[in-house]
Amino acid sequence: MASEPPTPSASSPLDDLMAASEQPYEARRRPKNRVKRRKTTVTGVLGEILITGGVLVLGFIIWQPLWSATVVADKQREASQTVSSQWRDQAETQAPAYDGEIPIPAKVDPGQPMGVLYVPAFGDNFQSTIGETTDLPTVLNVPDLGTGRYEKTQQPGELGNFAMAGHRSGWAPTPFREIMNFRVGDPIFVETPVGWYTYRFRALEYVLPTQSDVLNPFPRLEGVEVTDRLLTMTTCHPKLAGSEERVISYAVFDSFQPLSDGPPQELMDLNPNVKG
């Protein structure tokens, strides 16, 4: 009977350790398939910095308009609602009887609220407090205000040109961001301590920053007898961080309503936040 071949004995852990120790030192020290580490260069570091900077800039560009159109706009709306409520409470007890003559609001100190602007073309719930002067630190860049009246122009309801300024882009309030939404006949409402002034949009114009004659009692003309009540809005152009030009909105006076009579019905129909 043929004998079976001998079965190889299983190696012990000690045998494996001894076999490994017999390999050259370099072979045991260096792992197989090791990836060679890339050498750091100045060009590579600069590239990573530029990519990171580009991502941050892109994020800022996206964040900035969202911030001003949501958080800052909400702040403006809340502040203007507070001002409006105070005026309406006062009108119930202190407002003079309306005799048919269009009243002119009293002037206020620089930096103080002189009106509240409602423009349905800028959004269903748009409203912004109008401050006296167009000073950046005290009016145009202040979340509680944001819209400013040019001091040398006329008051709401007065013959001549009631002119305002506001930002269109940036981190500060941007009440005039959607000025290009205007269509002929769109209403513009201005609330003051004495009443509501309604204007109707007529036209847009592009001018250079140096063309300040848009603020004349009759815009762009000198020495003309003024027989109309006008409203002018000025802001930067183009929309996204541009200031090479100015876009100008012109409107004409349509009607007046005493504050004690409540908001115009048309405004209440267009803006769900405005109640009688």
Q: What is the pTM of this model?
A: 0.75
For the question of residue 26 being annotated catalytic, the response is no
Burial class of 157 by CB neighbour count within 10 A (0 to 12, 13 to 18, 19+): buried
Query: What's residue 196's pLDDT?
Result: 96
φ, ψ (nearest 5 deg) of residue 99:
-105, 10
Q: Which of 128-142, 186-200, 229-243, 245-259 has the lowest mean pLDDT?
A: 229-243
162 within a domain of the structure (yes/no): yes
Structure tokens at 186: 């769109």
For the question of residue 122 being annotated catalytic, the response is no
Q: Which of 24-28, 32-36, 162-166, 171-175 has the lowest mean pLDDT?
A: 24-28
Contact by Cβ (8 Å): 197, 155: no
pLDDT in tens, 70-79: 566 677 778 8
Q: Tell me how far apart the alpha carbons of residues 258 and 264 are, in angstroms, rounded to a whole number.
A: 10
| Percent of the residues in the chain that have a pLDDT greater than 70, as a whole number | 72
CA of residue 11 relative to chain centroid, distance: 77
6 within a domain of the structure (yes/no): no
Q: Which of 236, 251, 259, 274 is catalytic?
A: 236
Query: What's residue 76's pLDDT?
Result: 74
90 within a domain of the structure (yes/no): yes
Contact by Cβ (8 Å): 188, 172: no
69 within a domain of the structure (yes/no): yes
User: For the chain, what is the radius of gyration of the CA atoms?
Assistant: 35
236 within a domain of the structure (yes/no): yes
170 within a domain of the structure (yes/no): yes
Residue 231 maps to which CATH number? 2.40.260.10
114 within a domain of the structure (yes/no): yes
- The residues, ordered by sequence, that sit 6+ positions from 219 with a Cβ below 8 Å of its Cβ are 161, 213, 230, 232, 248, 250
Q: Which of 149, 167, 168, 177 is catalytic?
A: 167
- Mean pLDDT score of the chain, rounded to an integer? 83
Q: Which of 7-16, 68-77, 215-224 has the lowest mean pLDDT?
A: 7-16
**Looking at residues 10-18, what average pLDDT do you find?**
54
pLDDT in tens, 149-174: 999 999 999 999 999 999 988 777 89
Q: Tell me how far apart the alpha carbons of residues 238 and 18 are, in angstroms, rounded to a whole number.
A: 79
- pLDDT band per the 50, 70, 90 thresholds, residue 30: low
24 within a domain of the structure (yes/no): no
Contact by Cβ (8 Å): 175, 234: no
Q: Which of 6-15, 145-154, 209-218 has the lowest mean pLDDT?
A: 6-15
Domain extent for 221: 65-270
Alpha-carbon torsion angle 116, 120, 125, 130, nearest 10: -20
Domain count, the chain: 1
